[in-house]
Structure 1
């Protein structure tokens, strides 16, 4: 309902109830471009009591939101889903920094697989991110696309 209502504001003349969605091979929903006067892309994310919808005209868009007050289950999740070097760096951090690093890495990974349009069809431990001071680095051997802005920023 939220998605249809918001998208209908961009699709002048198409009522919310008439918007038809299809999915790609990886189950990502979209509206067929030939049915639109504009290239409209959207993404939705939710966690606990939060929901975020992002809409873009002309370019792909991805969004991720995480509730940061979960219990210590993140340690077990990191062991299962992070690449080995990510997990080792995460584990070596002081306890008070582990939770923040977990959510930074998890959000980056989720945003990346969403941006590739394949979701969890891309195993999360097959690519990695690392933090070098204030710079973010990504595994250069990743077979998937990298969306870059400038020399040192990743979207």
Structure 2
């Protein structure tokens, strides 16, 4: 998996998304919320574009959360349609218990979805399952108790070795990786984050047991990116056919633009 593909606002293209999935099996797409919010939320064609989600839309009060809800689903269906060579409105987005999205009647493409503030993130994979998560890179988490709710003993020790000015961003990275993994397995926040951890940045991202020993096998790959120096985006991909001769995904530590 390469760095995320920007779509909208003058960047990215559906050809790039199709090529990324064809070449790598998986792709993460991101876009600004404002680029995907329809000008008219009561337009008749929006009902066809959203499908069953339109009923949820009409019950939602006007808010930024409603904007993100609509924009995220339009981006997901458009990205999936580009990969599947189908019109977005021909795809029906449904949800498993716990809220994990999937495309009804389509088993050759798994999808993931996340959004925060002004950013939308969609994950697409043909190889197995995918989960994605995003948070503002500077979201305050440190010294609020979050680290003790989200980190293993090994991660807490590692955090103490991170320079203070980078410690909060590292906690955000760990949080998004755990969210992405728990979404991929359909557990969300029901899965205790203190039961699994991740290694430091700068190399292949590995899942670790609470004591810091390796946990998940090579069928799981994990990736984190810093987008526009403002958002942390993470993805977890499960490939049941992952071969021993194929190198795991690595964390490039780059900012997508």
Partner of 1:26: 98
**Following TM superposition, by how much is the alpha carbon of 1:125 offset from its aligned partner in structure 2, in angstroms?**
0.6
Partner of 2:176: 107
The partner residue of 1:12 within 71, 74, 86 is 86
**Following TM superposition, by how much is the alpha carbon of 1:67 offset from its aligned partner in structure 2, in angstroms?**
1.1
Change (3 A) 1:47 1:144: farther
Q: Does the 8 Å CA contact 2:204/2:250 hold for their aligned counterparts?
A: no
Q: Does the 8 Å CA contact 2:203/2:250 hold for their aligned counterparts?
A: no
Is structure 2 residue 139 aligned with structure 1 residue 75?
Answer: no
The partner residue of 2:116 within 44, 47, 58 is 47
Taking only aligned residues, the RMSD between alpha carbons, in angstroms, comes to 3.4
Q: Secondary structure at the match of 1:70?
A: coil
Partner of 2:220: 147
- Identify which of structures 1 and 2 has the higher relative contact order when contacts are C-alpha pairs closer than 8 Å and 6+ apart: 2
TM-score when normalising by structure 1: 0.71
**Following TM superposition, by how much is the alpha carbon of 1:98 offset from its aligned partner in structure 2, in angstroms?**
0.5
The partner residue of 1:97 within 160, 166, 182 is 166
Query: Number of residues paired by the alignment?
Result: 149
Change (3 A) 1:81 1:144: farther
* 1:74-125 CA-partner distances (Å, limit 9, x unpaired): 3321122211221232134220220232122112212221222222221111
Could you tell me which runs of 5 or more consecutive residues in structure 1 were left unpaired when the two chains were aligned.
none
TM-score when normalising by structure 2: 0.47
Which shifted more, 143-152 or 123-132? 143-152
- Aligned equivalents of 1:118 and 1:108: distance in 2? 14
Q: Does the 8 Å CA contact 1:47/1:65 hold for their aligned counterparts?
A: yes
- Aligned equivalents of 2:217 and 2:201: distance in 1? 22
- Aligned equivalents of 2:217 and 2:96: distance in 1? 17
